Amino acid sequence: MLNALSVDVEDWFQVGAFENVIARDAWDGLEQRVERNADAVLALFEEAGVKGTFFTLGWVAERYPALLRRIAEAGHEVASHGWDHKRVFTMTAATFRADLERARIAIEDSCGQTPAGYRAPSFSIDKRTPWAHRVLAEEGYVYSSSVAPIRHDHYGWPEAPRFAHRPVAGSNLIELPVTTVEFAGRRLAAGGGGFFRLLPYRFSDWAIRRANRKDGRPAIFYFHPWEIDPGQPRVAGAPLKSRMRHYSRLSAMRPKLLKLLKSHRWGRTDEVVASEQSRAS
């Protein structure tokens, strides 16, 4: 079964965990590492012989148009991660629409592709944003992969469906939630990011097999370019828990990813959306 491989393209200083420590207007003065890290991801995908989806911030697309062209020319899907990583539940429907528009224009100007897919920063579409999927449908998006149907300290919508569904009546927009597993009466996050990096390899490997075989559905997996960059600057002022999550096991990430990429079938998110169309409720 084809699983969705995705990368959320943002730099080390743009993550939700450091939001209260690093101001947005300081970003341009910081060491920029996203281009070399995303190039390392491209090399990794080439080595593994896989294609994937790069959910990219408009802020990054505007500054690194050549990177966006390299991603598109290598046959990967370019999709949107919003403008500057503001979480959707901090916006109104109107400011969300403006954020989408600004990111879309930056992506189109950089590589000529109109994003069909959107991923909310920090999976921030939840019960506080009942308008968000409707705005995406109105803006012409084919799919969203913006919901984490779990309970987590920073995000999550535990009541949301676990698999592809159509959240807007009268629209074909598909929401493809990040992968979870149900085990012993609990729902666990298993779609990547820090969970993949911090937990033993065999947990993610098991969770993907379980999604494919027991649930009969594709896994939706994601990670970030900064997760394969052990040399990134350390942010001193952030809470200890955030720093432990962000900096742990960075140097083990690349070989771990390569093993995962070679152990399952992976493709672009838009391909997986196409195969899920008939099954989405």
CB 173 within 8 A of CB 142: yes
Query: How many whole angstroms separate alpha carbon 234 and alpha carbon 13?
Result: 10
Q: Is the Cβ of residue 8 or residue 276 nearer to Zn ion in the bound state?
A: 8
Closest distance to Zn ion from the beta carbon of 229 (Å): 15
- By beta-carbon proximity to Zn ion, the closer residue of 8 and 77 is 8
# residues near Zn ion by CB under 5 A: 3
Q: Which residues within the stretch 5-44 sit at the binding site for Zn ion (CB under 5 A)?
A: 8, 10
Nearer Cβ to Zn ion (121/225):
121
State yes or no: residue 82 binds Zn ion (CB under 5 A): no
How many whole angstroms from its chain centre is CA 63? 20
| Alpha carbon distance 138, 126 (integer Å) | 18
Q: In the bound complex, what is the minimum distance in angstroms from residue 104's beta carbon to Zn ion? A: 17
What does 123-191 look like in DSSP terms, one character per residue? G--STT-TTHHHHHHHTT-SEE-----S--SS---TTS-SS-B--STT---EE-PPPEEEETTEEEE-S
In the stretch 106-125, what mask flags binding to Zn ion with x, by CB under 5 A? ---------------x----
Cβ density class 136-148: b for 16+ within 10 Å, e for less: bbebebbbbbbbb
The nearer residue to Zn ion, 14 or 204, going by C-beta atoms, is 14
Q: How far is the CB of 83 from Zn ion (least distance, A)?
A: 12
Token pair of 42 as six digits: 């491209």
Stretch that binds Zn ion, among 4-12, 139-147, 171-179, 242-250 (CB under 5 A): 4-12
> If 0-12 CB within 10 Å is exposed, 13-18 middle and 19+ buried, where does residue 281 land?
exposed
Residue 26 has which token pair?
A: 């300081």
Residue with smaller CB distance to Zn ion, 117 or 121: 121
Q: Which stretch binds Zn ion (CB under 5 A): 1-9, 90-98, 163-171, 264-272?
A: 1-9
Work out how close the CB of 85 gets to Zn ion at its nearest, in angstroms, rounded to a whole number: 6
Closest distance of CB 34 from Zn ion, Å: 11
To Zn ion, the closest distance from the beta carbon of 74 in angstroms equals 21
Residue nearest to Zn ion (CB): 8
Please state, in angstroms and as integers, the Cα–Cα distance from residue 76 to each residue in 7, 50, 80, following that order. Answer: 11, 9, 13
Task: For residues 68 and 182, give the distance between their C-alpha atoms in angstroms, rounded to a whole number.
Answer: 36
Decide whether 12 or 143 has the Cβ nearer to Zn ion: 12
Q: Which of residues 118-177 bind Zn ion (CB under 5 A)?
A: 121
Interface ranges with Zn ion (CB under 5 A) = 8, 10, 121
